[in-house]
Amino acid sequence: MTPINKVIIENKTDINPIWIMRQAGRYLPEFRKIREKNTDFIKLCLNHELSTEITLQPLKRFQLDAAIIFSDILMIPHGLNQEVNFKKNFGPLLGELNLDLISSLEEKDFIKKVNPVYKAIELVSKNQLTDNKTTIGFVGAPWTLLVYMVNKQSPKLKLLDNFFEDEHKLKRILKIIEKFVKIHIKNQIDNGANVIQIFDSWAGLLPAKDLDSYVYNPTIPLVEFVKSLNIPVVCFPRGIKDYKNYCDIVKPDVICIDYEVDPIQIERNIKIPVQGGMDPKILLTDKENLKKEAKKYLDIFKDHPYIFNLGHGVLPETNPDMMDYLVKTVKDY
């Protein structure tokens, strides 16, 4: 039994498990060395040997309790034959979305395109570095994937003015996304993932009136599907205003919170295990401040099942020494 699984299943914290979103990535010099030689990000994610190596890099440095596979939520549109590129200092750029093409795509063709992700998960889960640790697989939530696939770029830059114009078309795309996200989840679990995290990175874009249609209803079948496979599911609806309502409706095993939410209110109102919260920018300050902020979260959740994490991914300019100090602070608490 792994520490994180134990917290989720038994709903108690006698240890403080820790893993960090984007723990494998741009702040590590060993990752940057690989990235210099591999400029195509999607190809790098689909190189199972390199993605395995990258996934394990932080575990060689830090006493983390989980490995999260080095991949991307945009593996879904890539597997659906929508072109996906990453432009430096801009982010993802997606090609035209052909609804007829994605509607007729067969499961075996999708699996073939993203199969290296499953190979990497298998290699990671069997590596001695992950003994007694959790191997985390992940997917994008339907709403967030819909945003990227229709908008064709990050909505941080701009959400199309006519995005909601054809509601019937959006609902049709959401059903296709649900089908292939389930396939992606199943294959990750079959190859060794023992927790699945669902990232709804753009849940915060929506007004409360649209959450049922685009966040709650499309995510519920995925949560139920993961649970039906006897695997815990973590949901991260970043930027959402009412986490309690989300938990009551979607019913994840664990809720991951962002850094703009009040952790005291979360601890009071939410009964299930909680993950995350601390602002990644704290890692850019000094050790004294880092210890104080980490301790704040640990104190608030000391009587609540809690997995330490950040409220978003590690920033590229983070010093690995600060990560090391954070992990040791949590372990020594």
| CATH number of the structural domain spanning residue 237 | 3.20.20.210
Residue-level pLDDT at 158:
78
Residue-level pLDDT at 2:
52
Counting every residue written for the chain, the total comes to: 333
Average pLDDT of adjacent 10-residue blocks, the chain of 333 residues: 70 84 97 96 97 98 97 98 90 94 96 98 97 96 98 88 93 97 98 97 95 98 98 97 97 98 97 97 98 98 96 97 98 93
Residue-level pLDDT at 104:
94
Residue-level pLDDT at 1:
45
Question: From CA 313, how far away is CA 44, in angstroms rounded?
Answer: 19
Question: From CA 84, how far away is CA 213, in angstroms rounded?
Answer: 26
CB 19 within 8 A of CB 309: yes
CA 101-87-34 angle, to 5 degrees, is 105
CB 234 within 8 A of CB 66: no
- What is the DSSP track for 113-125? HHHHHHHHHHHHH
Q: Residue 274 is part of which domain span? A: 3-332
- What is the DSSP track for 84-151? EEEETTTEEEE----HHHHHH--HHHHHHHHHHHHHHHHHHHTSGGGTTSEEEEEEE-HHHHHHHHHH
| The total number of structural domains that make up the chain | 1
Residue-level pLDDT at 10:
78
329 secondary structure, DSSP code:
H
Q: Who's near 209: CB < 8 A, 6+ residues apart? A: none
